[in-house]
Structure 1
Amino acid sequence: MKHYLTIEDEKGRSVLSSKVIRGGIKVSATEEQILRELTFCPQYPAQLAKKLGIPEQKVYYHISRLQNQGMLEVVEKKEIRGTTARLLSPTAESFTLALKEKGNPEALLREEKTDKLSLFLASLVDKGVFMGNIVVGNPDPHGPFKARARDGHYAIDLALFLGKRATSKDTVSLLDTQVNLNSHFSSLLIVGGPVTNQLVEEFNPSLPVKFSQDKPWGLISERTHQHYTDDAVGLIARVPNPHFPDKIVIILAGIRYSGTRAAILGVIKYADVALSRFTGQKRFASVVQGVDMNGDGEIDTIDLLE
């Protein structure tokens, strides 16, 4: 189903067309901004108000108009202190503007989303089959810090998500203490930071954004030279396996377990944002900041830092 739009300013004056197209849908300039913002990822009204710099009450008004015209939908609800927070997303991949009178049948209002995630997972997922291993940190004390992994359970969300894209012919999950990198020739999806997952430390020299070796602990970008130290900062990285260059290593990790959650959310819910710069580079890294938008103590969305 195609949607036809006439963009208007706040006083109802047509901006892109001198008349409303018969059977078309009218949206204001603010509503166009909301649609464009939601192109990147689902968001809450409070997020939209902050990003657009307008009162939240005004955002609710425009959201209501867009919902009434079938252009926005609620994809998730959360009860917070007696109120319901609604996560919003557009109802279509693209919306178009008809310009028949000018000989141009339609012009895209916003580009169709590209499936960056499929490209990012290539080599791990091949023709609908998961071809690698998911590696989490050992929950028992191990490594030089005698650390217990606390973020392995986040891999469950990751596995459920990947299950929609691929099947597996064998067991795919491993602990970091079970992997011998010199003989393990599968591609790897590694969950957790270097303190709790020893494999991250092994691959750290190959990463475009590296975990710092000295205090303050954090992430250091070789591209921007930025030093990130917040606990909720997460890394999404993809590099060739230096031991077997035809295989890849994907790392979803944080300085702390909250950062690991942010990295995983970046892949399973907000890939259009987190992977916006990915075009197939051999070495790629994205840094995200986890945000507790609805105030329930859990990270539920992300901001892209680089």
Structure 2
Amino acid sequence: MKMFVVRRGKDSLESIETVEFTPNINPIEKKIISLLIRRSMYPREIAKALNIEQQKIYYHIRKMEKMGIVEVEHISRKDILTKFYRLRAPSFLLRVGEFEPVNNITFLSKKKREFLKPFVENGRINTKIVLGSPDPHGALSARARDGYYASDLTMFLGSFSSFPPKPCVVLDTEIKNLEQNMIIVGGPIVNRIAEKVNNRLPIFFKNKAIYSKLTKIFYKSDNCGIVVKTKNPFNRKKYIMIVAGIRSQGTRAAILAFLQRFDELCKGNEKNEKVYAHVVQGVDKDADGVIDFVDIIE
């Protein structure tokens, strides 16, 4: 298995391939390292623990300090001046080559990781993305017209993946296993899986509007959509996420929220931050007939 060291450059991440090796250092220094990996210590304490002359410990500590292996953590001035030493890091790199820019590693805050979990986890896509079929289907013989919006969502999720994904997009008329992680795109009229879970959501579709159980508010604009993450009602060990609107422009607004308002999505609902459920509203700022901006209104 290959191993890489990654560092933050000025404008990007940089990496260099590396291998583990054991440097040819003095046996006494190895023993000192084995002590300092646990906690900081002062030379006389190290000498006592290793049953080695104090002068020898001072010699090796000074040598290791020059090499950049140990550093002074703090100085105690209680009775006599005492320097406590610690390892500078839990691992060290002997670099002979140059770092190179890398683009497929993304650092996420804890809140963002929690929000994306388990759909994206450990650099892998771990979900099915369920789109409404473009063919007439369901009780109203509806056709989904928002499927192509999902390309923005899949590209967004892919930006957090470090590995080639398996095929993950499926139509609502094709999916058989509902007991897995699912991101469901489109509302209950055009997506039959959304229809199956709709009434179990904290924010759901009702009477051609969106209703929030959290705030008891109805949202009726066609530009409104929802982003809801909750446990899968068919398997409580898995999760679903609904990204949908009253109409197709509302679904576009919900997807746009990932691109423009992701930090806010990850905070949870204002009434209960433990509940990932939001109402969004799209805006056509440049008046070209296409939603290009989104506000989170709950």
TM category, shorter: 0.5 to 0.7
Corresponding residue SS for 1:245: strand
Q: Distance in 1 between matches of 2:155 and 2:236?
A: 28
The answer on 1:302 being equivalent to 2:277 is: no
User: C-alpha offsets along residues 113-171 of structure 1, whole Å, 9 cap, x if unaligned?
Assistant: 95643321101111000011111000000000101100000111111111111145421
Corresponding residue SS for 2:222: coil
Say how many residue pairs are matched.
Answer: 190
TM-score (norm 2): 0.60
Q: 1:194 to 1:125 in 2, by over 3 A?
A: same
Alignment partner of 1:157 out of 127, 152, 155: 152
The answer on 1:227 being equivalent to 2:204 is: no
The answer on 1:132 being equivalent to 2:127 is: yes
Q: Please state how far the C-alpha of 1:302 moved relative to its aligned partner.
A: 1.1
Q: Distance in 1 between matches of 2:127 and 2:274?
A: 17
Aligned to 1:248: 239
User: C-alpha offsets along residues 11-36 of structure 1, whole Å, 9 cap, x if unaligned?
Assistant: xxxxxxxxxxxxxxxxxxxxxxxxxx
Q: Distance in 1 between matches of 2:269 and 2:112?
A: 9
Q: Distance in 2 between matches of 1:273 and 1:282?
A: 13
The one-letter code of the counterpart of 1:172 is: C
Q: 1:169 to 1:272 in 2, by over 3 A?
A: closer
The answer on 1:145 being equivalent to 2:140 is: yes
Q: Distance in 2 between matches of 1:171 and 1:259?
A: 26
Aligned to 2:66: none
The one-letter code of the counterpart of 2:181 is: S
TM-score (norm 1): 0.58
User: C-alpha offsets along residues 30-87 of structure 1, whole Å, 9 cap, x if unaligned?
Assistant: xxxxxxxxxxxxxxxxxxxxxxxxxxxxxxxxxxxxxxxxxxxxxxxxxxxxxxxxxx
Q: Which ranges in structure 1 are unaligned for 5 or more consecutive residues?
A: 2-112
User: C-alpha offsets along residues 183-233 of structure 1, whole Å, 9 cap, x if unaligned?
Assistant: 433200011111111111111122001110x3xx11111111111110000
Report the aligned-residue RMSD: 2.2
The one-letter code of the counterpart of 1:161 is: F
Identity %, equivalent residues: 39
Q: Please state how far the C-alpha of 1:299 moved relative to its aligned partner.
A: 1.1
Aligned to 2:183: 189
User: C-alpha offsets along residues 240-266 of structure 1, whole Å, 9 cap, x if unaligned?
Assistant: 001111110001000000000000011
Q: Distance in 1 between matches of 2:286 and 2:113?
A: 30
Which structure's CA Rg is the greater one? 2
Q: Distance in 1 between matches of 2:241 and 2:194?
A: 10
Q: Distance in 2 between matches of 1:118 and 1:294?
A: 33
Corresponding residue SS for 2:235: coil
Aligned to 1:45: none
Corresponding residue SS for 2:204: strand
Aligned to 1:273: 264
Which residues of 2 match residues 1-306 of structure 1 at below 5 A? 114=109, 116-166=111-161, 167-180=163-176, 183-212=177-206, 214=207, 217-277=208-268, 283-306=275-298
Q: Which ranges in structure 2 are unaligned for 5 or more consecutive residues?
A: 1-7, 9-107
